[in-house]
Structure 1
């Protein structure tokens, strides 16, 4: 959903400011080339450009957010254009540009964050309650409209690590790896239902013997919108494994068969609540809740696309190795995407 909303916002933004930015960028080009007279004429034209109040608001957003984000990309492109010697072969030049600019079409997927300080209220003998946690999550689009349904097909990779920074030698206690491939389908016949997602996902911790944890799932996700409030229900089916290969045969008893995520953006804040339950009404009832809050940083700490981040988790399955252990954790840090 984040990727779809980002694409929609960028489409509106680029259409709203296209003429304005074209004039402004051409004026900058003239100024850099020393053609000050032509530059001044275009600057005046840009200043007198007739735009609506809505467009002014969008342009202000672009100046405060998009243009700052594009500065680094623009700098690398300019370095390539000005300082790198080109060859006579277009394909070689294309490869050279990609190497210099690092443009491989990768996008944020889930949250990317760093929590330098997390604390687990449940003390466990084999670890320190204090540790550092971080998550890296990227998406690579593969195809668009392959089935002529307006869908997008992507591959994604998410890695979440737990680092015992308070212990001797600071070992990584656990790392979970989640590669997946998925298709997202927009839904145009409803004001509430915005789309669906079908995904094949593997998750493991990359360890051996009794510490090995892994499972494969197919899940279906939907996106419902009520003004600026979103509901994201998800159900999954675990792909069966041979008993001899199954590292965690009872994982469904703790993770259940789905989860529900509630999203609420308010001004520069976002609130995200994930709820999960195995739907058993007896003493075997297990579940989890995770609250994520991102908020603007103070000006002296603020950088583009960086936000203060608080994460609170309570229940089972904070990590794969702990799928059958209960934990109650709180962490503080910085989110780089949301």
Structure 2
């Protein structure tokens, strides 16, 4: 009886999430009516700093700034995410430009107090002597590029690729292999927005599709496909994002991880705050649906290193499920220290 009740609660939760997802998408991805700031922006951009740019380039740059919310006629404070969009807008004028997407970092040492499970690797390679170190190196490389700009004067189309690797660098007994590498290509439409909600500026909305897998075979194979939305809000040095998704169904014969949504859920929340050059961020995932039993929390802090402004020290803490594809159903309690090149803010 208790099991049936839990199942009914989960079905209601998923239905509510789906209804909210559709409603928010419909309201957020319809462009708001905005004043025509294009001429004001172009006028403000004309000067010695931009004298090498053509009128067409200035027009495109201003369109991107207005769409991203970073141009407001000087009437209000530019928020941190709007500034990030402004920087992207300047770079998309260059053909075939690769820009940072998610944070790019390396954790020189990442220690998991709950131990990584070697059983899958022992079964895959028929070797019962395989042992995994609790301390490894981890790094993430994430880039994006614009595909189409100002489509129907409404949205821009982007593509991105994120690689996250888990490297048993200190495990010399098995030749320091990569324990896991997750590949994440995605494509999304990025919509302009200038709405206000509870004192926050809705600086961008996105709708996309993403594939994630570990490129393995046999018992180690993991993958899934999702459609997602992302709603970004900011105010001053604070940014907040809500990212719900829907997993695209697979046939039971091809599905390597049919219960992955039981651990990774249907949404993530992000929050970040920038103080001077320090960035504090948090990620919260799937805690409500799993009744705080299978969720995940990730906390991070980046800080400048002496006089080197572009290389920052980085501390990242993760507790919960879904740290990697191979261990999505294993609890991980890990803290890592290293360097970060590009952050969320």
State whether TM-score is above 0.5. Answer: yes
* 1:17-96 superposed matches below 5 A: 18-19=47-48
Q: In structure 1, what is the equivalent of residue 98 of structure 2?
A: 106
Shift of 1:308: 1.0
Maintained 8 Å contact 1:178/1:202: yes
Q: Decide which of 310, 322, 333 is 2:327's aligned counterpart.
A: 322
Q: In structure 1, what is the equivalent of residue 113 of structure 2?
A: 121
Shift of 1:143: 0.7
More helix by share: 1
Specify every segment of 5 or more residues in structure 2 that has no aligned partner in the other structure, as ranges. Answer: 1-40, 53-73, 75-93, 119-131
Q: Decide which of 262, 270, 288 is 2:296's aligned counterpart.
A: 288
Shift of 1:228: 1.9
Maintained 8 Å contact 1:256/1:279: no
Maintained 8 Å contact 1:131/1:164: yes
Deviations 1:107-130 (A, max 9, x none): 111111111111111123521001
Q: Decide which of 158, 163, 169 is 2:162's aligned counterpart.
A: 158
* 1:1-338 superposed matches below 5 A: 18-19=47-48, 104-124=96-116, 126=118, 127-149=132-154, 151-168=155-172, 169-190=175-196, 192-277=201-286, 279-280=288-289, 285-299=293-307, 302=308, 305-338=310-343
CA distance in 1 between partners of 2:235 and 2:167 (Å): 38
Distance 1:20 1:183, change over 3 A: closer
Deviations 1:238-291 (A, max 9, x none): 000000000000001000100100011111011110000153365x83100011
Q: In structure 2, what is the equivalent of residue 29 of structure 1?
A: none
Maintained 8 Å contact 2:287/2:296: no
**What's the Cα RMSD here?**
2.7
Maintained 8 Å contact 1:233/1:259: yes
Q: In structure 1, what is the equivalent of residue 30 of structure 2?
A: none
Distance 1:125 1:206, change over 3 A: closer
Q: In structure 1, what is the equivalent of residue 10 of structure 2?
A: none
Bigger relative contact order (CA 8 A; separation at least 6)? 2
Deviations 1:178-215 (A, max 9, x none): 00000111112436222211110000000001110000
Maintained 8 Å contact 2:280/2:302: yes
Maintained 8 Å contact 2:194/2:201: no
CA distance in 2 between partners of 1:124 and 1:184 (Å): 38
Maintained 8 Å contact 2:188/2:209: yes
Distance 1:287 1:123, change over 3 A: same
Specify every segment of 5 or more residues in structure 1 that has no aligned partner in the other structure, as ranges. Answer: 1-11, 24-53, 55-101
Shift of 1:306: 1.5
Shift of 1:226: 2.8
**Residue aligned with 1:289, SS:** strand
